[in-house]
């Protein structure tokens, strides 16, 4: 698979140089091709910029899936899920990664540098990469509803106060 990887500065935080170099090495060791979407250092940057790059790579077909890293995984997940067709999941353990793929067909995995140990991140990543979407009708139907929400612009209707 081709995997787009992106992060904010948390992906390269000291003292160990961050998780992103280890994630990229792991992906390559597993036989995946990596499209690095930045950033490449610990200088403070804005996570939505790098979420956008990974989302665009996945949506354009340049990458099959994406991995995003920030301090908690929350910001990247929020940013990525703003893009129609993206199903980003912040997974803290292997069960979440398995279900994100089998039930939700998550195409982007979000990880937290400050909330997860590196070995846990790599285990979660491995499960997420190896788990196929189940394709069960109930899960396809739910994803189709999400896609309709994307197309309509809001799940709460045209009189939504947030529009």
| Distance from C-alpha of 92 to C-alpha of 117, rounded to nearest angstrom | 10
Cβ atoms of 37 and 76 closer than 8 Å: no
What SS3 class is residue 63? Answer: coil
Cβ atoms of 80 and 124 closer than 8 Å: no
C-alpha distances (whole Å) from 139 to each of 32, 106, 144 are 27, 12, 9
Could you identify the residue written with the tokens 């109930």? 138
Q: What is the dihedral of CA 86, 89, 95, 99, to 10 degrees?
A: -30
Catalytic (active-site) positions:
70, 103
């Amino acid at each position: 698979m081709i995997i787009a990887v992106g992060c904010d500065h948390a992906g390269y935080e000291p003292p160990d140089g961050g998780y992103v170099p280890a994630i990229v090495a792991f992906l390559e060791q597993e036989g995946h091709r990596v499209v690095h979407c930045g950033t490449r250092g610990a200088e403070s940057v804005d996570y939505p910029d790098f979420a956008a790059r990974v989302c665009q790579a996945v949506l354009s077909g340049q990458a099959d899936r994406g991995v995003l890293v920030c301090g908690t995984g929350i910001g990247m997940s929020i940013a990525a899920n703003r893009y129609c067709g993206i199903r980003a999941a912040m997974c803290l353990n292997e069960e979440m990664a398995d279900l994100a793929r089998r039930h939700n067909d998550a195409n982007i995995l979000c990880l937290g540098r400050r909330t997860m140990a590196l070995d846990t991140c790599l285990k979660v990543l491995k499960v997420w990469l190896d788990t196929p979407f189940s394709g069960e009708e109930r899960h396809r139907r739910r994803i189709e509803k999400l896609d309709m929400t994307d197309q309509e612009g809001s799940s709460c209707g045209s009189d939504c106060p947030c529009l």
